[in-house]
Amino acid sequence: MQLSLLRADLLHPQVAGPKYIRLAAWLAMAKAQGYSKVVSAGGMHSNHLHALAMLAPKFGLAAEAYVRGLAHAKPSPLLAEAQAAGMVLHPLAKADYASLLLDTATPTLALPPDALFIPMGGDGSVGQAALDVWAAQLWSQLAAGTQLALTAGTGSTLQAFAATLPPQSRLWVAAPFKDASFLWNRVPAPYRNQITLWPSRMRFGKTDELATLYGRLFVEETGVRVDNLYMPHLMASLAQARLRAELPLGTPWALLHCGGQSANILAG
């Protein structure tokens, strides 16, 4: 079994591929509409906030973030890097955290008129539209009937590839959650029978020994660095499904490598 490796991790040296696509769309819109600042929210270990801090200056924009847990602890290494890049951090109350999964800021943030709120993860209509275009472009470059393996976190990348899924192709999706059923909400109903979803045996943030082993084998075989969570789970899921004879052979296969935050790299 051979897979073509789609190197979305090369889109930006510090920001994972789909995250770069989403945030670049939001930042370009903010600049075009005359905003001088972008504001977002996340947790203490948010890759999204780190990515936003790295990208906003490239668009000539200042960046601020509301961070859950910041009132009770020092910034994590990720957020310390974000601060060093110029991002201003504010504590965020737990009660306000969930309400910020929106396209626009809630009134509790009291944003200044020159600031645009970017949803957590760069999600929302603007980021999703950019991902949909990108996914359609990638599908157009793949052979008919290609089986595409990828990882899923919030589900926005899965949604984009599902919404543009050709009729002869299939998605094989690894999600590092014990309960990944929420991801089906991101998939248009007509395409759900073209998707196989592999949840994890571990709670989010944890990688078992088997996944770590397959992640290291991937690094050794390809020389490509991977994150220590998503890609190891995908490689282990593919290998186990191959052993169970669940994967169709004789058709083209591709693996989407989105990259990972530079502080969380699995060594070879």
Q: What is the pLDDT of residue 75?
A: 87
Question: Which of the two residues, 259 and 12, has the higher pLDDT score?
Answer: 12
Span 166-192, mean pLDDT? 91
The pLDDT-based confidence of 210 (bands split at 50, 70, 90) is: confident
Span 82-99, mean pLDDT? 83
Rounded Cα distance between 120 and 47, Å, is 10
Phi, psi of 221 (to 5 degrees): -75, -35
Q: What is the largest CA-CA distance in the chain?
A: 57
Return residue ranges of the chain for CATH 3.40.50.1100: 17-122, 142-266
> Do residues 97 and 68 lie in contact, with contact meaning Cβ atoms separated by under 8 Å?
yes
Phi, psi of 61 (to 5 degrees): -120, 145
Q: Which residue, among 213, 11, 175, 39, has the nearest Cα to 118 in the 3D structure?
A: 39
**Which amino acid makes up residue 60?**
G
In this structure, of 70-74, 122-126, 191-195, 262-266, the range with the lowest mean pLDDT score is 262-266
In this structure, of 95-99, 130-134, 191-195, the range with the lowest mean pLDDT score is 95-99
The pLDDT-based confidence of 97 (bands split at 50, 70, 90) is: low
User: Does residue 63 register a pLDDT over 80?
Assistant: yes
In this structure, of 61-65, 72-76, 87-91, 163-167, the range with the lowest mean pLDDT score is 72-76
Q: What is the pLDDT of residue 101?
A: 52
Give the distance from CA 152 to its chain's centroid: 7
Residue ranges in the chain assigned as alpha helix (H): 17-32, 47-55, 77-84, 94-97, 125-141, 156-163, 209-222, 230-243
- A 10 A CB-CB count for 18 gives 29
Q: What's the whole-model pTM score?
A: 0.85
Span 231-254, mean pLDDT? 93
Q: What is the pLDDT of residue 262?
A: 43
Q: Which residue, among 53, 113, 106, 43, has the nearest Cα to 82 in the 3D structure?
A: 53
User: Does residue 206 register a pLDDT over 80?
Assistant: no
Query: At the top level of CATH, which class does the domain 142-266 belong to?
Result: alpha beta
Domain 17-122, CATH among 3.40.50.970, 3.40.50.1100, 3.40.50.1580, 3.30.2350.10: 3.40.50.1100
The pLDDT-based confidence of 23 (bands split at 50, 70, 90) is: very high
